[in-house]
Structure 1
């Protein structure tokens, strides 16, 4: 089997199973594990998968720039936001990160909800500037120009000084064994702080981001209390998370 055929088999197998192992592919392709490892590295460089120890898994499919992400799968984000509203009550202090599902949640907040929101997201702050009942605290810091958020030590320090009731976390990638990961190093560090400072963390994630991974580690998936997707909670793709004791909505 020539190299191009091997690469296509790896991609096809990954699309079917969401993950591949070196030993599995070595047997399937009748080549050494070193050859498979080189093939996976090449596909990782092309952005077609994420190489991990012992194999590879699917990368998060969503675009990176905020302008593209805000238009991507809007109906799914609105469905996720509608489900998330049930967790918000008067008097709460809530972290909102910069995920576009969280932006959709900000847009869906009832006008009579008396809540304090701490965010590093310019779109969230912009949406809530006219909200009659929500108090907004904006975490300053260095502007990340593709995420439309602030990042860096100043931003982290703002969240570290607060004990929130809930952290609403827009998910880049979530995997039952690899944990929550991000495409941006500073974003991963900030999300870790937000989670550690909240009594409950609610992950807002499109189903296509489930069982994917990105380079920068945030935390184990068991640090999340609730996962909200656009699909029915009994979807088989979410079984592993229910088995870990995470509420799936």
Structure 2
């Protein structure tokens, strides 16, 4: 099969299933996984798809709405949320950015826990209204209807008034060399401010987001302390992140 035909097959497959897996494509096209990896990188560079760890997902100029993302990888997010709970202790001050994974963490909190939570996320505020011992600071600013959150200068300045014990950071993508990146400029600035004002940063990421990148820079990979995925850390291939001093859970 010619290379051009192979690339076309990959594009057709991702259009059909919204994602492709390296090993599956290797068997389907009867070439090595290294060849498929190079093909995916070439297609990703052209904007025809988005390369992620172990394969690729459909490229889209529009980041899915919060309501759509709520129904994606729900079981994985629940696994991540349960892992996060071991880091959260009564009395802590927590900064949580807007996202479906951080919202899942809040939903998993013990009902009687005593915390202070600072967030720019409407869904998180909605979840926490039933937690009698959680003191909630909602950060105002310009409403982002796409993510049900606030952004802008006022939001960033308000974040800088706090010093959080933990920042829970739902991320779009992380790469060892390119760092954490985001899909929108405004939300990337919010994430950066939260990281800068927190003692300890936990990045929440489904495994497929690792090794991927988006347009807007948030921080270097080693600016965070922990990466939590749905995978068992003993089998997840994240050696480079461990070597950079990042804990994997």
Q: TM-score, normalised by structure 2?
A: 0.81
Q: Is the 8 A contact 1:141 1:152 kept in 2?
A: yes
1:208 — aligned with what? 208
2:50 — aligned with what? 49
Q: Is the 8 A contact 1:103 1:123 kept in 2?
A: yes
1:53 — aligned with what? none
1:33 — aligned with what? none
Following superposition, which runs of at least 4 residues in structure 1 exceed 4 angstroms of deviation? Answer: 1-4, 9-12, 57-63
Displacement of 1:235 after TM fit? 2.6
Q: Equivalents in 2 of 1:68, 1:40: separation in Å?
A: 23
Q: Is the 8 A contact 2:203 2:228 kept in 1?
A: yes
1:247 — aligned with what? 247
Q: Equivalents in 2 of 1:143, 1:60: separation in Å?
A: 28
Structure 1 unmatched runs, 5+: 18-23, 30-35, 51-56
1:110 — aligned with what? 110
2:26 — aligned with what? none
1:235 — aligned with what? 235
Q: Equivalents in 1 of 2:21, 2:8: separation in Å?
A: 11
Tell me: CA distance 1:159–1:61, structure 2 relative to 1, closer, same or farther (3 Å): farther
Residues 1-249 of structure 1: pairs in structure 2 closer than 5 A: 4-5=4-5, 7-8=7-8, 16=22, 43-44=46-47, 46=48, 48-49=49-50, 64-249=64-249
Q: Equivalents in 2 of 1:139, 1:70: separation in Å?
A: 22
Q: Is the 8 A contact 1:113 1:133 kept in 2?
A: yes
Displacement of 1:176 after TM fit? 1.1
State the SS of the aligned residue for 2:177: coil
Q: Is the 8 A contact 2:228 2:248 kept in 1?
A: yes
State the SS of the aligned residue for 2:239: helix
State the SS of the aligned residue for 2:137: strand
Displacement of 1:4 after TM fit? 4.4
Q: Equivalents in 2 of 1:87, 1:107: separation in Å?
A: 15
Tell me: CA distance 1:59–1:174, structure 2 relative to 1, closer, same or farther (3 Å): farther
Q: Equivalents in 2 of 1:181, 1:93: separation in Å?
A: 25
Tell me: CA distance 1:222–1:61, structure 2 relative to 1, closer, same or farther (3 Å): farther
Q: CA RMSD in A?
A: 2.8
Tell me: CA distance 1:239–1:189, structure 2 relative to 1, closer, same or farther (3 Å): same
Q: Is the 8 A contact 1:60 1:172 kept in 2?
A: no
Paired residues in the alignment total 224
Q: Is the 8 A contact 2:115 2:134 kept in 1?
A: yes
Displacement of 1:130 after TM fit? 1.3
Tell me: CA distance 1:151–1:239, structure 2 relative to 1, closer, same or farther (3 Å): same
Q: TM-score, normalised by structure 1?
A: 0.81
